[in-house]
Amino acid sequence: MSYEVLFEGLERAALGDAESLGWALDCAGAAADAAILDAGCGLGADIGTLAALRPGARIVAVDLMEAFVARVRGAYPGVAVHCADMTDPPGGPFDFIWCAGAAYMPGVAACLAAWRGHLRDGGAVAFSDLCWRVAEPSVAARAFWEAEGLAMRDAVALEAVVAGAGYEVLGARWLEPAAWAAYYEPVAARLAVLPEDEMTRGFAAEIALWRAHGADYGYRLIVARPR
């Protein structure tokens, strides 16, 4: 099964919510007319919030999935949407770069290094990354994420990566449980009506892990500016 089929009719293909995005914009000091990049925009779930909270903004969105890009273009004709690598986006420079849960693919350090050259002076980035919330996570949680190829760290280690990339942390917080539910619950409902295959089993296992051991880990939202 393709991601296009799995996420058909859904609004969100990654974790996030309007409240945390608003906090990040304010923390970064993004102006109403800021040039904003949605890096790894997925289904475009955050574009409406960006436009509502910064009504004069020039918004550019990029994603590598052509089906998602086509959908976002149709939904937001006033936004420049590109099928492009988030580490080399067109349309800059930007005052604010937003990346909801997608920085793990190139790696946080690689993203921060690349984005520096696409920011205006004084610009900031905001990204979320999966981290351990407890010192001793459950065996099940560790085994699952290791099998997924994620070498997860804690929040302190994540901030060390940000500092090592030459950025100052302006603010950091955990995404609330409501942000998880806003993503996972619609996906779970979609899985219930789809035929089972390797992809649907993987998503079902991820959701089951969250329900059983979600307190062990979370998405840490970081807002940072190059030093």
**Centroid of chain to Cα 64:** 14
Helix 198-213 and helix 139-147, axial crossing angle in degrees, nearest 10: 150
Determine what percent of the chain is predicted with pLDDT higher than 70: 100
State residue 2's pLDDT score.
84
The three state secondary structure string of 28-91 is HCCCCCCEEEEECCCCCCCHHHHHHHCCCCEEEEEECCHHHHHHHHHHCCCCEEEECCCCCCCC
pTM above 0.85, yes or no: yes
- Return the CATH class of domain 3-132+151-176+217-226: alpha beta
Q: Give me the percent of the chain exceeding a pLDDT of 90.
A: 93
d(C-alpha 196, C-alpha 200), whole Å: 6
**What are the residues facing 153 on neighbouring strands?**
131
pLDDT tens, residue by residue, 18-77? 999 999 999 999 999 999 999 999 999 999 999 999 999 999 999 999 999 999 999 999
- For residue 220, the tally of other CB atoms under 10 A from its CB is 21
- For residue 9, the SS3 value is coil
Q: What letters, b where the CB count within 10 A reaches 16 and e where it falls short, cover 51-66? A: bebbeebbbbbbbebe
The pLDDT of residue 1 is above 80? no
CB 131 within 8 A of CB 152: yes
Q: What is the pLDDT of residues 84-104, one digit of tens each?
A: 999 999 999 999 999 999 999
